[in-house]
């Protein structure tokens, strides 16, 4: 590596000799001390040194010289070697000349002729130190910029991978699963109290039989596209797709019921506005402990949610077809609601589901019906509950009379019809 060069420029030989001797004593053999007696030649030397990639930490130049003046010369040198610091020797320099050197020539200091040795020594050492410090910082900044750009590129790549990953494994699932850990491994599991929602298209097999294969997938994806925003809106996430059914998880039961209501209202609206096949969707919500975790093998694992709560939610959804009700929730969900007054609920039955010996109390969410039907069901609410009380107490004739009245007011009430069939059967 070539030694750095300090350049001294003055049209007086004695000044150049004195500068060179003093600078050699200051820097010993670490630097070349180059002297030039005119401005034009010094510019050529600077260009040559720059082309050879030689550091020029310091240029000391007289202001008053034959030909090119010092401030003009320093401005030219700064254009060729921008990092080089300059010192002006002056006995007669005007304020204008010094200002010009400051603004255009990267003037570090000016020294009056004759100069003090201590002053020259301190100025030269500080200037050279400042030059190399600035060069080191510039190099570090360049390296940091390269690292920053590399990190940005890596972050963009990771972000794309995470976006793809989150399409298969919901980020919300991982948050629930990794409360105690900061990584995922096969067999990792945790128990959480959650509200499980199942949403399923009724009579999907019959619908599918009337459609070409591509339209079946279009139908399913359109259905999923319609309902998923409401699940996300209310802080839930889809755990899995099972054919035409969706299983979603919520930490807050109120959110689960609100999402289910808005899904049904959306489907009602689309059934009237779109030329799609008319279809019904049954939704259930059950709340309780859920085991969430990872299953699979070392190189291929999936997240899943299992447990009695999941099984019950699935079976309750099947009952929506029996009761002709778009949204059923269990007593566990009804009891867990933080703001139960915000919902119109009707206690409809005690149902036994597969895998459970004790029956479950079911509630119909009236907010999920079209507005006109909701009003009819609200109109028979007290009458219906009184009829159920008579039925439970085995006053069959009174129960039959009241259920009949319910159907006179609301002929669409399938649940009253079910109780009548039980009484008559």
pLDDT tens digits, residue range 95-134?
665 666 566 667 888 788 888 899 899 999 999 999 999 9
Q: Which two tokens stand for residue 117?
A: 């040795």
**Ranges of H-type helices in 243-347:** 253-273, 308-323, 331-336
Q: How far from the centroid of its chain's Cα atoms is residue 147's Cα? A: 23
The CA-to-CA distance between both ends of the chain, in Å, stands at: 105
**Ranges of H-type helices in 278-424:** 308-323, 331-336, 371-379, 381-392, 396-409, 414-424
Distance of alpha carbon 8 from alpha carbon 33, whole angstroms: 7
What pLDDT was estimated at residue 323?
94
For 216-271, how does the pLDDT look when each residue is reduced to its tens digit (9 = 90+)? 777 778 888 888 899 999 999 888 877 778 899 999 999 999 999 999 998 888 76
Positions of the chain with pLDDT lower than 50, given as ranges: 165, 179-181
- Cβ burial of 127 (10 Å; 0-12, 13-18, 19+) is buried
Q: Which two tokens stand for residue 205?
A: 């097999």
Domains and CATH numbers, the chain: 5-141 (3.40.50.2300), 171-369 (3.30.70.1230), 378-425 (no CATH)
Distance of alpha carbon 194 from alpha carbon 165, whole angstroms: 23
> What are all long-range contacts of 128-132, with beta carbons under 8 Å and residues at least 24 apart?
128/4, 128/6, 128/27, 128/31, 128/57, 128/58, 128/85, 130/85, 131/55, 131/57, 131/58, 131/83, 131/84, 131/85, 132/55, 132/57
Distance of alpha carbon 398 from alpha carbon 402, whole angstroms: 6
Nearest to 307 by CA among 355, 369, 259, 273: 355
Residues 6+ apart with CB under 8 A from 182: none
What DSSP character marks residue 64?
S
What is the torsion angle, in degrees rounded to the nearest 10, for the CA atoms of residue 290, residue 313, residue 201 and residue 385? -150
What pLDDT was estimated at residue 179?
46
Other CB atoms within a 10 A radius of the CB of residue 288 amount to 18
What sign has the CA pseudo-torsion 164, 167, 172, 175?
negative
What sign has the CA pseudo-torsion 90, 96, 97, 102?
positive
Q: How far from the centroid of its chain's Cα atoms is residue 294's Cα? A: 23
DSSP3 helix / strand / coil % (the chain, rounded to 5): 55, 20, 25
What are the backbone angles phi and psi of residue 164, rounded to the nearest 5°? Answer: -65, -45
Is pTM, for the whole model, over 0.85? no
């Amino acid at each position: 590596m070539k030694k750095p060069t300090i350049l001294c420029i003055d049209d007086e030989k004695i000044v150049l000799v004195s500068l060179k001797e003093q600078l050699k004593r200051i820097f010993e053999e670490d630097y070349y001390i180059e002297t030039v007696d005119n401005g034009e030649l010094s510019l050529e030397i600077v260009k040559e040194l720059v082309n050879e990639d030689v550091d020029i930490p310091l240029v000391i130049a007289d202001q008053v010289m034959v030909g090119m003046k010092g401030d003009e010369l320093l401005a030219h040198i700064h254009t060729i070697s921008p990092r080089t610091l300059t010192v002006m020797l002056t006995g007669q320099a005007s304020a204008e000349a010094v200002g010009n050197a400051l603004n255009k020539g990267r003037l570090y200091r000016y020294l009056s002729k004759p100069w003090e040795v201590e002053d020259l020594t301190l100025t030269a050492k500080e200037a050279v130190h400042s030059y190399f410090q600035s060069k080191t910082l510039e190099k570090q900044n360049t390296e940091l910029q390269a690292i920053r750009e590399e990190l940005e590129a890596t972050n963009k790549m990771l972000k794309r991978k995470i976006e793809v990953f989150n399409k298969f494994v919901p980020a919300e699932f991982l948050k629930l699963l990794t409360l105690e850990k900061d990584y995922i491994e096969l067999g990792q599991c945790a128990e959480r109290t959650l509200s499980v929602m199942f949403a399923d298209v009724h009579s999907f097999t019959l619908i599918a039989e009337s459609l070409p294969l591509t339209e079946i997938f279009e139908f399913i994806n359109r259905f999923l596209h319609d309902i998923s925003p409401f699940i996300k809106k209310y802080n839930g996430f889809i755990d899995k797709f099972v054919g035409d059914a969706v299983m979603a998880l919520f930490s807050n039961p109120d959110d689960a019921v609100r999402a289910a209501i808005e899904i049904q209202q959306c489907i009602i609206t689309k059934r009237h506005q779109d030329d799609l096949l008319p279809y019904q969707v049954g939704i259930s919500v059950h709340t309780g402990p859920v085991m969430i975790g990872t299953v699979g093998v070392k190189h291929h694992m999936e997240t899943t949610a299992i447990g009695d709560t999941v099984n019950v939610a699935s079976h309750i959804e099947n009952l929506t077809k029996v009761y002709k009700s778009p949204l059923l929730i269990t007593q566990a969900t009804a009891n867990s609601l933080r703001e139960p007054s915000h919902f119109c609920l009707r206690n409809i039955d005690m149902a036994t589901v597969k895998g459970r010996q004790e029956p479950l109390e079911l509630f119909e969410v009236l907010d999920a019906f079209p507005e006109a039907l909701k009003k009819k069901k609200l109109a028979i609410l007290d009458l219906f509950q009184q009829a159920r009380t008579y039925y439970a107490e085995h006053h069959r004739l009174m129960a039959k009379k009241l259920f009949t009245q319910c159907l006179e007011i609301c002929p669409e009430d399938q649940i009253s019809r079910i109780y009548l069939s039980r009484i008559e059967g």
